[in-house]
Structure 1
Amino acid sequence: MKLYFSPGACSLSPHIVARELGIEIDLDKTDTKTKRTAAGDDFLAINPKGYVPALQLDDGSVLTEGPAIVQYLADSKPGAGLAPANGTIERYRLQEMLGYINSEIHKSYSPLFYDATPAETRTERLAYLKKRYALIEQRLAGREYLFDRFSVADAYLFVVTNWARGVKLDLSEFPNLLEFQKRVAARPAVQAAMKAEGLVK
């Protein structure tokens, strides 16, 4: 399999999951502005949506959207426990959390990455993110992870929350979240993925 990624982007989430599972994947760094991959391919021909992550499967087909990719990877090695079994209420709870991270946190960061975003929009998005993180803070009270053990949702939350410093989002009022970030960052698979993407030495 091959993962098309951009360093530190949301594609880091499936990268972490693959390493947690011990799945060997090829990495192809992708410039989402020029739409070219490090291998010289036209990324739009691979994923017409034009953004990462995209996972090329062994049969040549391509799977997109981070929440779908991480579940696909987790289901390939169910014994690792990164996602509950399909059809269980626990799996639907995981999907519920992935949906929340995707729509309420991940996408709320998007306007903050652009210099042209008006100041009032930036202020509103920062305030909105704090409201969304307040629920995560409550969820993490007395917990190491979002559920009883590390899951694909934790990888996703960790990755998007890493963007906070770059957009000047102060998370100091969320001590449980900050401890969560440290805990996940210390995992060997997370360190390996971040090193492979040039994010840490």
Structure 2
Amino acid sequence: MKLYFAPMTCSLSPHIVLRELDLPFELIRVDNKTKRTADGLDFLSINPKGYVAALMLENGSVLTEGPALVQYLADQVPGNTLAPANGTWERVRLQEWLNFISTEIHSGCAPLFNADIPPPTQAIFKAKLFKRLDYLSQALAKQDYLMGRFGLADIYLFTVLSWLPLFNIEIDDWPVLASFMARIAARPSVRAAMAAEAA
């Protein structure tokens, strides 16, 4: 498998999952500005949507969209603890969390990457995001991980929350979330993925 990634993007999530599951993969950097891959290809020919992550399978098929990618990867290793089995109520709960993170946190951060948005407008986006962070803080005050034990939703949430310093948002304003981030950051798979992407 080939994982196409760019640093400080949501591709960190499937990257961590690949390492957690000890699956073999090749990591290929994408320049988000030029849309060229490190091995000289036009990334748009791999993913016409133009953004990472993209996972190319051995048969040449390409899978995109973080929540789909991480669930596909988890299903490649039967019995792992990152995701409940397909078809179970717990798997539906996982999908609920992944969708919340995708639509409310990930998409909630997206406008903040645009430096051209005036500060009053950015404040509106931040206020909405802060409400979602308050909700997450309440959920994680009851247990260390979103579903009770470490899994896919935690990996995705960690990835997206790691962008907050870019927007001058202090995670320490939510001590429960700061503790969550420290717990996830201490995992060997997370340290290895972040080091590989920084290289």
TM-score for the superposition, normalised by structure 1 = 0.96
CA separation in 1, counterparts of 2:103 and 2:72?
20
Cα RMSD for the two superposed structures: 1.0
Number of matched residues? 199
Counterpart-to-counterpart distance in 2, 1:88 and 1:79: 13
1:79 Cα deviation after fit? 1.6
Cα deviation, 1:76-100, whole Å, max 9, x if unaligned, reads 0132211101111100000000000
Matched ranges for 1:39-188 at <5 A: 39-188=39-188
Amino acid at match of 1:153: A
- How far did residue 172 of structure 1 move? 2.7
Structure 1 portions without partners, runs of 5+:
none
Which aligned runs of 4 or more in structure 1 are off by greater than 3 angstroms? Answer: none
* SS at structure 2 position matched to 1:80: coil
- The worse-fitting range, judged by mean Cα deviation, of 109-118 and 56-65 is 109-118
- Give the CA deviation at 1:47: 0.3
* TM-score, normalised relative to structure 2: 0.97
The SS at the match of 1:122 is helix
Unmatched 5+ residue regions in structure 2? none
| Segment drifting more, 13-22 vs 105-114 | 105-114
Identity value in percent: 56
2:176 aligned with 1:196, yes or no? Answer: no
121-130 vs 89-98, which deviates more? Answer: 121-130
CA distance in 2, matches of 1:148, 1:154: 10
* Alignment-mate amino acid for residue 140 of structure 1: L
Q: Does 117-126 or 80-89 show the bigger shift? A: 117-126
Which letter maps to 2:18? A
Following superposition, the deviation at residue 64 of structure 1 comes to 0.3
Distance 1:103 1:198 in 2: 27
CA displacement at 1:170 relative to structure 2: 2.6
| Mean CA deviation greater in 137-146 or 178-187 | 137-146
1:101 positional shift: 0.2
